[in-house]
Amino acid sequence: MNASVGYSGSYGFSGSVGITLTNFDITHPFTMGGGQILNFNWQFGVGNYYQTFNLGFTEPWFMDTPTMVGFDVFDTRQRYYYDLSQTGITLRVGRRLRWPDKYFYIQGMLKYQYNNIISGGSYYDEGTYNQYTIGGTLSRTDIDNPIFPSRGSKLSLNAELSGGPFLPGEVDYFKMQFKTDFYRRLFNSNRLVFYAGIDIGYLAELQQDTHINPLEYFFMGGNGLTVATTPLRGYDDRTIGPNLGRSGGSIMTRYVTELRVALTLDPMPIYFIAFAEAGNVYKDLKSTDFYDLRKSVGIGARILINPIGLIGFDYGYGFDRKLVDGLDPQWVFHFQFGQGF
């Protein structure tokens, strides 16, 4: 069983609860022992802002080869400045590569979803739309510790095509997102670590007035636990971007650096962080200015408690609060458990 909880001043508490069976056998579901993965996850926001149900199945060793196949069935409802529901299914296939090295992994997906935009909040087209999406992710992970990495790197490049010249449906866009994380020991100590990360996203409409659903756009602000949101601590959830973050944007960029100091690593990892980050979400290419960033600094702490997971506390100071929501810069508290940055 797994769970996570987050808190922000604008959304209150949000979280997720899930169950994962790591030794499931679809041919003998009551005896187990097949090495397959069955999981159920429920994400929710207090105040009925959103909820998502997801049922997934994964066969990690298909046909006795190192090939992963799986599917996810999902249902989402979100009420923000818009009211949206989504129901669909995703088919997945992935495989670890031998070239350029053994740390590379490739995954493809094919997704169908039925979008019902009940209220567009003056930003989105209301109505029901069929969406067909094909996508792929190329990733590389080479770190020495999944809980407290002290050296190595992670990178991923994701691309999606919805509609366009190859797929049916009423939604037409192309979307890319690149993310990289870098870890380096300081003074050759695995308890003192420098971390740097970059996250860049781009979405392009393939037809004028296409019916792109809100969750495909980029949103930013807060601790990132709110659905479809890129974190930027020191600001409230989803307050950065066009229309005070209400409508999302087509271009996203975020840069983060952290100094991490581990008090203890075993048996209960506890570490402190000092961070500086900057980012923004832009309406389109014409309005994009990569020097126009919302900046913040802060401090935080993490503690891993089994079986609860990683508990985190952050205090962030957003320097550009006036440009975001008109308020004076102030310290913002972020809380989470069950997930890490």
User: Quick one: DSSP state of residue 151?
Assistant: S
Domain 2-337 fold is Porin (2.40.160)
The one-digit pLDDT tens for each residue of the chain (341 residues) are: 676 776 665 556 777 788 888 888 887 777 777 889 999 998 887 655 778 899 999 999 999 898 999 999 999 998 877 889 999 999 999 999 999 999 999 999 999 999 999 888 777 888 999 999 999 999 999 999 998 999 999 999 999 999 988 899 999 999 999 999 999 999 999 999 999 999 999 999 999 888 998 889 999 999 887 778 999 999 998 899 998 888 899 999 999 999 999 999 988 899 999 999 999 999 999 999 999 999 999 999 999 887 667 889 999 999 999 998 888 999 999 988 765 43
* Residues pairing with 183 in the sheet: 152, 195
Q: Is the pTM of this model over 0.85?
A: yes
The whole-angstrom separation of Cα 136 and Cα 199 is: 17
Spell out the domain ranges in the chain: 2-337
